């Protein structure tokens, strides 16, 4: 297991590119199960989650090959494999995206209930509701979803949940509906750019989907889908993370391969905070003044502020004077990073689905531990801004969703070293032995005395009075 050793206090500067979107690549790769013939997906990021899904698809009878230019070739060779095993599915929640394609193409699917980051309750009930509406018979047994359908038929489906629309649920239902007889309409469909990218890929295979990017999606079923080529959109969450890295270090950074229309809410909130943002021919430039302003931030479904940027935005606000409020209306329990930021000197108080952030003049280096993908990114950002040396442990979370983030940050002037997580690699400055007793303590007060032994005396027998 690896960890990062981060030398903080250096403003980032320079130019770097953004990789393809993780949240597009994973469902698109899974949807390739629907196709007759090979598909080529360009711009797939090099992530642990992509490698995990590649292994899962191979167990489901698909050849998965990565080319020299980063493209991935997917081609089904065994259409009979239908079991998505627990050992692979437990590693990431996006594995559930194979359920819809397997059910539509092979009429039967056994998929383990998914794992992933510990960021709060994320049930798959809306996925199952949508697939049942299409005619699937579904039961849960021994931790597996068992689904079968002799014939899927179009239906009207409502996918709204208590915290908004479901992104992976929308993708699962859309995938299954492409091969269902008749017309399917999805109300309260997710509107995220990754869902639009997913639908565009399906249309490239021959699907008939309209209304992408709106809450009302219409799918007209077709008899077959064929392989195609597709370019993944840039990762808006990686772009936002790099933008916030520039802001928290008060740096000057230009990002390439960025879709600004996918970042409208993030950029507007940063302008409110005081970050200077300029569009360029191929991306965006971030120039950050020393003095910034506090702000109230509410994480909402698209087109609102993304929940996947909440932790990174909070890291920035810990360094901004004044009181800021951060409320997550998508995952109200997604605050496990708060305690770790406090170790670096941040002042944050949790109040239900909100966190109240009191900005401090500076953060200090510390040893911290990541709890999930976006929390790990936020801790790296905080470490870049902190004075002194920091260690960020459990960075396997980071590797799941960021394409070599430390290399990109180092290209901008960051000082991040990946080392094995062992006691010998822990920086001496972060060990308890480095905390010396202050010289101004009176020696008499610091005297070390031996243990004081307790002497026990047997009680004296007392003569009792009698009548």
* Average pLDDT of the residues in 40-50: 95
Does residue 465 carry a pLDDT above 60?
no
Confidence of residue 92 (pLDDT cuts 50, 70, 90): confident
Q: Encode pLDDT of 436-459 as tens digits.
A: 766 666 655 555 555 555 555 555
Cα 58 to Cα 79: distance, rounded to the nearest angstrom: 11
Which stretches does DSSP call E strand in 115-199? Answer: 137-141, 144-148, 156-158, 160-161, 164-165, 183-187
pLDDT for 36 = 96
* Average pLDDT of the residues in 6-18: 97
* Average pLDDT of the residues in 355-379: 96
Those residues whose C-beta lies under 8 Å from the C-beta of residue 241, and which sit 6 or more positions away, are 309, 312, 377, 381, 402, 405
* Average pLDDT of the residues in 242-258: 97
pLDDT for 117 = 41
Contact between residue 346 and residue 360 where contact means Cβ atoms under 8 Å apart? yes
The percent of residues in the chain predicted with pLDDT above 70, rounded, is 90
Does residue 394 carry a pLDDT above 70?
yes
- Class of CATH domain 22-231: alpha beta
Confidence of residue 14 (pLDDT cuts 50, 70, 90): very high
Q: Encode pLDDT of 297-340 as tens digits.
A: 999 999 999 999 999 999 999 999 999 999 999 989 899 999 99
Look-up of token digits 């698209």 = 302
* Closest C-alpha among 238, 187, 213, 246 to residue 399: 238
pLDDT for 120 = 43
Confidence of residue 284 (pLDDT cuts 50, 70, 90): very high
Mean pLDDT (the chain) is 91
166 or 435: which leads in pLDDT: 166
Confidence of residue 97 (pLDDT cuts 50, 70, 90): very high
Name the pTM for this structure.
0.90
pLDDT for 462 = 52
* Average pLDDT of the residues in 257-277: 97
pLDDT for 455 = 55
Contact between residue 172 and residue 127 where contact means Cβ atoms under 8 Å apart? yes
Confidence of residue 376 (pLDDT cuts 50, 70, 90): very high
Confidence of residue 420 (pLDDT cuts 50, 70, 90): very high
**DSSP characters for 349-407?**
EEETTEEEEE--S--B--EEE--SHHHHHHHHHHHHHSBSEEEEE-THHHHHHSSSHHH
* Closest C-alpha among 232, 230, 134, 147 to residue 175: 134
pLDDT for 119 = 35
pLDDT for 431 = 75
Q: Encode pLDDT of 159-169 as tens digits.
A: 988 777 899 99
pLDDT for 290 = 85
Please give the positions annotated as active site. 117
Helix (H) / strand (E) element for 219: namely strand 216-220
- Class of CATH domain 2-17+234-431: alpha beta
Q: Encode pLDDT of 112-152 as tens digits.
A: 887 544 434 446 889 999 999 999 999 999 889 999 999 99
**Segments of the chain assigned to CATH 3.65.10.10:** 2-17+234-431, 22-231
* Average pLDDT of the residues in 201-226: 98
125 or 379: which leads in pLDDT: 379
pLDDT for 16 = 97
Cα 327 to Cα 102: distance, rounded to the nearest angstrom: 37
pLDDT for 124 = 86
Surface-to-core class of residue 443, CB atoms within 10 Å of its CB (0-12 exposed, 13-18 middle, 19+ buried): exposed
Contact between residue 225 and residue 205 where contact means Cβ atoms under 8 Å apart? yes
């Amino acid at each position: 297991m690896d960890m990062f050793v981060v030398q903080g206090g250096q403003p980032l500067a320079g130019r770097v590119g953004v990789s393809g979107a993780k949240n597009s690549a994973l469902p698109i790769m899974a949807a390739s199960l629907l196709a007759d013939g090979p598909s080529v997906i360009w711009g797939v990021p090099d992530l642990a989650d992509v490698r995990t899904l590649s292994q899962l698809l191979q167990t489901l009878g698909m050849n998965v090959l990565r080319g020299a230019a980063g493209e991935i070739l997917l081609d089904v060779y065994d259409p009979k494999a239908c079991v998505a095993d627990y050992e692979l599915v437990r590693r990431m929640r996006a594995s559930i995206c194979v359920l819809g394609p397997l059910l539509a193409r092979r009429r039967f699917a056994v998929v383990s209930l998914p794992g992933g980051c510990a960021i709060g309750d994320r049930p798959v009930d809306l996925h199952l509701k949508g697939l049942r509406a299409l005619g699937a018979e579904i039961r849960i047994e021994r931790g597996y979803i068992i689904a079968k359908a002799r014939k899927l038929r179009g239906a009207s489906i409502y996918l709204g949940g208590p915290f908004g629309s479901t992104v992976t649920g929308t993708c699962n239902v859309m995938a299954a509906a492409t091969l269902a007889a008749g017309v399917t309409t999805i109300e309260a469909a997710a509107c995220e750019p990754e869902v639009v990218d997913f639908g565009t890929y399906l249309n490239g295979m021959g699907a008939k989907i309209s209304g992408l990017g709106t809450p009302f999606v219409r799918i007209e079923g077709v008899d077959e889908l064929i392989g195609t080529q597709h370019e993944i959109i840039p990762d808006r969450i990686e772009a936002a993370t790099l933008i916030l890295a520039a802001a928290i270090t008060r740096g000057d950074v230009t990002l390439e391969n960025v879709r600004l229309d996918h970042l409208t809410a993030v950029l507007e909130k940063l302008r409110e905070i005081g970050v200077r943002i300029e569009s360029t021919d191929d991306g965006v430039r971030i120039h950050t003044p020393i003095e910034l302003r506090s702000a109230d931030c509410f994480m909402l479904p698209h087109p609102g502020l993304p929940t996947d940027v909440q932790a990174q935005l909070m890291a920035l606000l810990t360094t901004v004077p004044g009181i800021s409020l951060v409320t997550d209306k998508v995952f109200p329990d997604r605050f496990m990073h708060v305690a770790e930021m406090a170790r670096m000197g941040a002042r944050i108080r949790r109040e239900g689905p909100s966190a109240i952030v009191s900005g401090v003049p500076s953060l200090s280096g510390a040893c911290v531990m990541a709890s999930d993908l976006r929390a790990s990114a936020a801790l790296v950002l905080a470490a870049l801004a902190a004075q002194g040396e920091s260690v960020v442990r459990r960075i396997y979370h980071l590797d799941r969703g960021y394409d070599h983030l430390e290399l990109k940050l180092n290209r901008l002037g960051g000082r991040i070293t990946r080392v094995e997580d062992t006691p010998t690699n822990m920086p001496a400055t972060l060990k308890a032995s480095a905390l010396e007793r202050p010289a101004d303590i009176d020696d008499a007060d610091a005297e070390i005395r031996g243990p004081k032994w307790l002497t026990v005396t047997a009680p004296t027998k007392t003569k009792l009075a009698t009548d």
